[in-house]
Amino acid sequence: MASPLWSSINVNHMTTLTRKQRELEQRETLILDVAKDMLLRDGYLGMTMDRIAESCEYSKGTIYNHFPNKEEIVAELGLRTMNLRTDLFARGSALKGLTRERMMGVGTGLELFVRLYPREFQALSIIQAASVREKTTAQRQQALRACDNRCMGIVAGIVRDAVSQSDLVLQDGISPEKLSFGLWSMNYGAYSLMGSDIPLQELGVDDPFEVAHKCSHMLLDGYGWQPLSTEWDFDKTEARIREEIFSDEFAQLEKLAA
């Protein structure tokens, strides 16, 4: 399946550009495509400007005309990855239903991102490293922070809605952002372990995605977020999320599994 993650050519956009502008964008697309494959295959250290230039059949100077260093390339790839993740979060949060169901929609969006694009998810740890970000321009750093803030804002916004609708009473010292961080870090940690070499099945974790779901519900139950998992059929909610929000993505997963 062709990944939409880092495709930078928009057909409608390209028709409005001059020939020279189109050539520049097409060249940049090729550079990013080559760099993406190299980063995912060989890692951060294996991705060099020399190798990118050789693979693209451009001079190294041409590469530098587009990107001043490889960190800028990594950051641009990261922005495209993070924008897709943000889109999945936003779509999941738009589910019509209870606040806790909407939070499930966001969680399903994150799971789909991990399952459809596992290599890109693993690459986020490289993209988000301080050693990479500090070598990028202030404009690029601001764009990366904005992506993170949008994701946190979506999740924290649902928490605030839950509080305003009396679905949730936050404990002293727990802000919407702190609760969101707890959920986010628990799920990201779980998905990172799933992508590692740790033999989870040998450790008794037969279905790690299902375990992650149950742990998320236990956390929300612990906060008293209504309705509790013992009082609501969240399996029906999950089925509704699949059908109403992410039917295309789950169809892609079925094709991958076939």
Q: Residue 240 sits in a domain of what CATH number? A: 1.10.357.10
**Could you tell me if 107 and 200 lie in one domain?**
yes
**Could you tell me if 76 and 51 lie in one domain?**
no
**Could you tell me if 46 and 90 lie in one domain?**
no
Percent of the chain having pLDDT more than 90?
75
**Could you tell me if 84 and 59 lie in one domain?**
no
**Could you tell me if 60 and 80 lie in one domain?**
no
Give the domain CATH number at 59.
1.10.10
> Domain range spanning residue 19?
1-67
**Could you tell me if 104 and 206 lie in one domain?**
yes
Closest CA to 161 of 95, 232, 229: 95
Q: What would the pLDDT profile of 133-150 be if each residue is shown by its tens digit?
A: 899 999 999 999 999 999
**Could you tell me if 92 and 103 lie in one domain?**
yes
**Could you tell me if 48 and 77 lie in one domain?**
no
What does the pLDDT read at residue 15? Answer: 54
Asked which of 15, 41, 67 is the last residue of a domain, the reply is 67
Count: domains in the chain:
2
In single-letter form, the type of residue at position 136 comes to T
Q: Are 110 and 187 in contact (CB under 8 A)?
A: yes
**Could you tell me if 28 and 104 lie in one domain?**
no
**Could you tell me if 169 and 232 lie in one domain?**
yes
- The structure's pTM equals 0.86
The reply to whether omega before 227 is within 30° of 0 (cis) is yes
**Could you tell me if 54 and 74 lie in one domain?**
no
What does the pLDDT read at residue 9? Answer: 41
Supply 247's token pair: 């039917």
pLDDT over 90 at 158, yes or no = yes
Compute CA 137 distance to the chain's CA centroid, rounded to the nearest angstrom.
22
Percent of the chain having pLDDT more than 70?
93
